[in-house]
Amino acid sequence: MDGRTVVAQRRGPLARIGRFLAEPFKDAWHHRDLLLAILQRELAERFKGSVAGWVWAVTAPLLSLIVYTVAFSGAVRLPSGEVSGSNFDYALFIFGGLIAFNFFSEMAYRAPSLLHEYAHFIKQTMFPAEMLPIISTLRATAYASIGLVLMLVAQLVLTGTLHWTVLLLPIWYIPFIAFLIGMTWTLSAMGAFTRDTAYLMMTVAPLLMFATPVFYSTDQMSETLKLVFYINILTGFIEVLRDIVVFGQLPNPLVCAWVLFLSVATFYFGFWFFGKQRDGIADVI
């Protein structure tokens, strides 16, 4: 066996891994016109028939922010003692947790029935079903972005400052979107074969809110309990967002590394899992 054959054999597995890692992005780029067209339609239909339209997309997070600000600015006293930082910081602290959790829960609820929504297209045409999780996640990203912009404006108005660390928001946004796309690939493929997936998400997602530090912090927890909470990937995402926007500090590198690892693993597992089920999806939805 000559040297060129050995090199070719070594390159074989590496080439396959490289193709697999690049495939989701190549597929998305190949179908970019379709992605954009369906995304525009989804965004337009969200408030179809409503007089106020997109005003509602701003109203809901704005009202939540106002309620938290009033509740924790001294107008309402908490019976549990004081929290660290200003009361405005605490309102933003909660609001940031809710932005991340609501972003997740919107996809968790919709993903199991996503392919059923587009069953006609998938059955009747050569519709690339693997693009639907990307489209639905990008739609949710638009609404999460509205809440995030309101959070930044509130941070500036209520505290008089906007930390330079907000420039690091892409290190929160990009992994979170990748995680949600991977999760949606997995849940939508499972939901195509059994309705139990939807019932599971409706049962688990509300309970998960209390197992996620949306309304509290992990700072006062023991190291052992913290590790348990970090198994929930949402814990890391919420802490990174709060560090960047509310506290103006660099996120913990270990937390960032853990979140990035889980995001990449979820993204590619979801893509692989969906691909394995793709041939049978049209027969069961």
pLDDT digits over 267-282, tens only?
999 999 999 998 888 7
Helices (DSSP H) in the chain: which residue ranges? Answer: 3-30, 32-45, 55-71, 87-110, 114-117, 119-124, 132-159, 170-193, 196-210, 223-230, 233-242, 253-284
Distance between CA atoms of 145 and 149, rounded to whole angstroms?
A: 6
Assess contact for 259 and 175: CB atoms under 8 A.
yes
Per residue in 123-170, pLDDT (tens digit) is: 877 788 999 999 999 999 998 999 999 899 988 888 888 999 999 999
- 158 falls within a domain: yes
To the nearest 10°, the Cα dihedral for 252, 256, 261, 262? 100
The reply to whether 19 falls in a domain is no
Residue 51: predicted pLDDT = 59
224: its two tokens: 């052992």
Q: What is the mean pLDDT of the chain?
A: 85
Encode burial over 185-217: b for 16+ CB neighbours within 10 A, e otherwise: bbbbbbbbeeeebbebbeeebeebbeebbbeee
Q: Are 97 and 215 in contact (CB under 8 A)?
A: yes
Q: Is 171 among the domain residues?
A: yes
Lowest mean pLDDT among 88-97, 111-120, 194-203: 88-97
Q: Which amino acid is at 19?
A: R
Question: What's the pTM?
Answer: 0.87
**Whose structure tokens read 């409503």?**
50
| Cα–Cα distance, 87 to 192 (Å, whole number) | 46
Residue 109 forms part of a structural domain: yes
The whole-number average pLDDT for the span 2-28 is 74
Per-residue pLDDT band for 54 (boundaries 50, 70, 90) equals: low
Percent of the chain with pLDDT over 90: 48
Residue 14 lies in a domain: no
Contacts of 188 (CB under 8 A, 6+ apart): 111, 112, 114, 115, 132, 133, 274
Domain-embedded: residue 18: no
Please answer whether residues 176 and 103 qualify as being in contact, where contact means their C-beta atoms are separated by less than 8 angstroms: yes
DSSP state of 244: I
Q: Is residue 84 part of a domain?
A: yes
Token pair 């193709």 is found at 19
Specify if 29 maps to a domain: yes
What three-state secondary structure class fits 145? helix
- Read off the pLDDT of each residue in 220-246 and give the average, rounded to a whole number: 91
Number of folded domains in the chain? 1
Range of the domain at 34: 24-284
pLDDT for 10: 55
Residues in the chain: 285
